[in-house]
Structure 1
Amino acid sequence: MRRAVCIVSPGNLASNPRVLKEADALHGAGYDVTAIVCDYNEALRQADDEIEAVAPWKAIRVPRARGEGVRARAVEQLARMLSSLGSSVPVSVAALSARTPVGALMRRAPEVPADLYIAHYVAALPAVAAAARRHGALIGFDAEDFHSGEGTDAPGDEFRMRMIQTVEQAILPSCSHMTAAAPLIGKAYATRYGVACPATLLNVFPLAMAPSHQRSARAAEGTRTFRAYWFSQTIGLDRGLQAFIKAMSLATTRVTLDIRGSNRWGHGDALMALAASLGLGDRVQLLPMAAPSEMVRLAADYDVGLSLETDVSENRRLCLTNKVFTYLLAGVPVVMSDTPAQKLLAPDLGPAARLCALDDPAGLAVTLDALASASRLAEASQAAWRLGRERYNWDREQNVLLQSVAAAFARQDRVR
């Protein structure tokens, strides 16, 4: 009899490629897979429809419940009151105080029988715990970030992090399967909650997304322009791009920068204004969002990709985002800021990566000038191309997931 696995995530289908990769891998390994996701973002609805139409596993899309926001605000007030009085906040109250679809997922997930429930993001943890209790099943968690370390100095963040810790502390020790998107994220969870260190499951992509051939490095073709690229869902001012633009103004090489992502908060406009003030207005441009399935192909046309994480939060210091691995699969070398996580990764990337300090634009300019030389760029590009095909791809990385899930079931079988 096939084992059933239910993946639960508070995002839309199209908003989290990691859920899709996990579902595909588990289905391919013979599991009966259901993904319970939300249907909140109208802008992603068409993309969700397209994904669901071809997915070999079942998708259940949970709509927004009427009055959900009002209830969340009321529960948040209760949680704040209890906290201010020095009382412990019950796990259910801590979970529901978040303005995320916790309640909707908690109602839907227990209706789907499974042998293992895997939560993505903290908002899904109460749902998988409730479902596992009803069906006598195992609990799993995929930590794409160190969620209780995502707080900054923003108003309300300290309270929000305490509520997340309350939920994580109550549920994570019961998990039979845990993965984390970076080694230091896994270590942070193990240290904070006394759980076994999660297996590292990097945010890499299938070889099928890679370009069919590697393009020649532009510097080797004789052009004087060195093209840099950065992408994310949303353009922000805490992603190290200001330092890079300042470095562009100091480099002897003519460096250009394309920034892809939503400019909904106007941060892209602020970056363009900075570029214009430095005489670089014609060398920086904003590009619209694109489908996750297109990210590798779109990156392949550049000379270097940027992963400029800052120390705005503990999580940003520990995470390894999908940017690094997108560039490698595209055959593009990467410039990474010297966060602890990226410093730990850099030796494994060899000539395909360059570390930089965001507080030293002049040093970054020297790095760019050096990398732009024809011979070094050719070496770096070739190294990136090789790493993407031999090591940092989902075809290989999915084995970490499958082994962890199989081990969880094997442990269960031994104690029965």
Structure 2
Amino acid sequence: MKRLLFLTSNNLATNPRLVKELRLAENQFECTVFSFDFSNWSDPLDEKLRSSLANVVFNRLSASKKPLFTWLLSSVIEKAAKILYPLSRRSMLLNAFGHSKRSFLLWVVLKWHKPTYDLVIAHNLASLYPAYIFAKKNKIPFAFDVEDYHPGEKIVDDFENERSRRIFLMKQLLPAAAYISYASPLIGEETLKLIKNLNRSSSILVNNSFSTKEFAPPVDKYSSKLHFVWFSQHIAAGRGLEHIIPALYKFKDSVQITLIGKLNSTFFKSYLQTYSDILDIQEPKPQSELHKQLGAYDVGLAFESGAADFNRDICLTNKMFAYVQAGLFVIATNTKGQTLFLKQNPWCGMLTGVTSTELNKALKELIAQKQEIRKNARSRFENGKTLAWENEEEKLLNLWKVI
């Protein structure tokens, strides 16, 4: 039986793509994972996910200040790499460790990791360099999942240098990968544009969709109000809620909104509290529970902001697929990624801009079409099966078996 090593700089609760790969692989391959503990809201969800993957061996590193020595050492290494970076911009080690201290932590633990594997699969940019070094040392292939277009993500500090580090790591290391997978057509397009010598035949689109088994058929709805839903890891500023919540509030007699995620108290007090009479705010929940629950709603909110960063403009989030597979009607902002998706799948929803005029027009249309939206829920649910994970997993299985 082939042995697969998975690396991530996150945990399972914040990396649903990795969870799907592990569920696919655990009964056909021997699987080992290196991931991180964050000592935050995600830990209980992460523990449940790990418990559900009984055939997978987990090695967990700490991303928190415990143990203090490890945190201090990795922080000093990251800071030193950033300081030295301008002196040696082509140093792979400085680029990797300056990008993230978790890259250093993975690199250290893998230096002393003895088991042999047939393939290393890295998720998240901080795991790319450790995967490359480990694979090279042990003369085995490695792969990388480009879930996000990392040079186009929002960078808060040291923008020019950090963006250069990300571009350098991708350009230098990805051509050596046995394959790369990407999470949206436009992320793949941009990655191939960036890396001219990347092997296109070993670059595959793996959509952020889910197994059909995770969703229940939509329930009949009789409420006089059109019920909207939005979910994310965090309910906080900068996630599109600032646009849609005030627009929905103008129709408060006709709508209800459920928000699912870890609530930022400052955001609630300074912003959401004003609209609390139409809001139902729920804590984060396991993916399986969330997906079963989605069928109780009418409309899913996919409010990505293309202005936030380039990655947000071209990505396709897992919430888009979750809404569609649950049979919800989707109202999505007109980012490039979502515009392309709805052009290819016009049956599942509509696009809108984010100006007050555009949102008012879209919401009026939705409220007027409430009965039609509910009537077509089962049809959308069945159509959503064409986008399911079952259609994506074969691509990965075929690669894992032949590499």
The alignment partner of 1:63 has SS state of strand
Whether the 8 Å CA contact 1:150–1:316 is kept in 2: the answer is: yes
* 2:299 aligned residue (291, 299, 304): 304
**1:78 alignment partner in structure 2:** 80
Question: 1:123-163, CA deviations, whole angstroms, 9 ceiling, x for partnerless residues?
Answer: 111221122112211110011111121134x3333332222
Deviations 1:184-212 (A, max 9, x none): 1111111112223431111111122111x
- Specify the SS of the correspondent of 1:204: coil
| 1:142 aligned residue | 145
User: Following superposition of structure 1 onto structure 2, how do residues 3-42 of structure 1 map, counting pairs within 5 Å?
Assistant: 3-28=2-27, 30-41=28-39
Match of 2:174 in 1: 172
Shift of 1:328: 1.5
- Contact kept, 8 Å, 2:74 with 2:105, in 1: the verdict is no
- 1:214 equivalent in alignment to 2:218: yes
Q: Which residue of 1 aligns with 2:185?
A: 183
Q: Contact 1:6 / 1:117 at 8 angstroms: preserved in 2?
A: yes
Matched, 1:120 2:120: no
Q: 2:380 is paired with a residue of what secondary structure?
A: helix
**1:342–1:380 Cα change, 3 Å:** farther
Question: What is the match of residue 394 of structure 1?
Answer: 389
**Separation in 2 of the partners of 1:301 and 1:343?**
26
- Identify the residue that residue 209 of structure 2 maps to in structure 1: 204
Aligned to 1:355: 351
Cα displacement (A) at 1:99:
4.0
- Distance, in Å, in 1 between the alignment partners of 2:49 and 2:343 is 37
Q: CA deviation at 1:66?
A: 4.8
Distance 1:90 1:239 in 2: 35
Amino acid of the residue matched to residue 39 of structure 2?
Answer: N
1:171 is paired with a residue of what secondary structure? helix
Correspondence for 1:340: 336
Cα distance, 1:182–1:379 mapped onto 2, change above 3 Å: farther
Would the aligned equivalents of 2:75 and 2:101 in 1 still touch at CA under 8 Å?
no
Letter in 2 for 1:189: T
1:15-74 CA-partner distances (Å, limit 9, x unpaired):
32211210221234x322222222343544444444333424322222326533333443
| Other structure's SS at 1:258 match | strand
- CA drift of 1:84 comes to 4.3
> Which stretches in structure 2 are left out of the alignment for 5+ residues?
none
Partner of 1:291: 286
Q: CA deviation at 1:361?
A: 2.4
Residue deviations 1:253-276 (CA, integer Å, cap 9, x gap): 612222111123622333314xx2
| CA distance, structure 2, for counterparts of residue 67 and residue 357 of structure 1 | 49
Unaligned runs of 5+ in 1: 410-416
Structure 2: distance between partners of 1:380 and 1:271 = 34
Contact 1:111 1:131 in 2 (8 A): no
In structure 1, how many angstroms separate the alpha carbons of the residues matched to 2:397 and 2:269? 44
1:52–1:59 Cα contact (<8 Å) kept: no
Counterpart secondary structure, 2:285: coil
Residue 377 (structure 2) pairs with residue 381 (structure 1): yes
- In structure 2, the residue matched to 1:414 is none
Equivalent-residue separation in structure 1 for 2:149 and 2:291 (angstroms): 25
Aligned-pair CA distance for 1:250:
4.0
Residue 57 of structure 1 is matched in structure 2 by: 55
Specify the code of the residue in structure 1 equivalent to 2:12. L
- The question of whether the paired residues in 1 share the 8 Å contact of 2:132 and 2:173 is answered with yes
- Pick one of 283, 290, 312 that aligns with 1:316: 312
State the alpha-carbon separation in 2 of the partners of residues 306 and 112 from structure 1. 45
Q: What letter corresponds to residue 63 of structure 1 in structure 2?
A: L
Matched, 1:271 2:275: no
- Does the CA-based 8 Å contact 1:353-1:380 persist in structure 2? no
Please give the alpha-carbon distance, in whole angstroms, between the structure 1 residues aligned to 2:149 and 2:192: 11
Relative distance call for 1:123 and 1:304 in structure 2 (3 A) is same
| CA distance in 2: counterparts of 1:319 and 1:80, whole angstroms | 28
Q: CA deviation at 1:112?
A: 3.3
* Deviates further, 167-176 or 90-99: 90-99
Tell me: CA distance 1:265–1:100, structure 2 relative to 1, closer, same or farther (3 Å). Answer: farther
Q: Does the Cα contact within 8 Å between 2:77 and 2:97 map onto a contact in 1?
A: yes
Which amino acid counterpart does residue 289 of structure 1 have in structure 2?
Answer: P
Aligned residues: 392
Specify the code of the residue in structure 2 equivalent to 1:231: F
Is 1:158 aligned to 2:160, yes or no? yes
Q: 2: CA distance between counterparts of 1:404 and 1:100?
A: 31
Contact conserved, 2:305 with 2:335, CA < 8 A, in 1?
Answer: yes
Shift of 1:379: 5.1
- How many Å separate the matches in 2 of 1:24 and 1:290? 19
Q: Which residue of 2 aligns with 1:282?
A: 277
- Whether the 8 Å CA contact 2:78–2:101 is kept in 1: the answer is no
Question: Secondary structure in 2 aligned to 1:166?
Answer: helix
TM-score (norm 1): 0.87
Query: Which position in structure 2 is the counterpart of 1:93?
Result: 94
Pick closer, same or farther for the CA change 1:34–1:176 going to 2, 3 Å.
same
Of the structure 1 ranges 110-119 and 378-387, higher mean CA displacement relative to structure 2 is found in: 378-387
2-structure distance, mates of 1:148, 1:263: 28
8 Å Cα contact 1:346-1:354 kept in structure 2: yes
Aligned CA distance change for structure 1 residues 168 and 111 (closer, same or farther; 3 Å): farther
* Alignment RMSD (CA, Å): 2.3
SS in 2 for 1:290: coil
Q: Is the 8 A contact 2:181 2:206 kept in 1?
A: yes
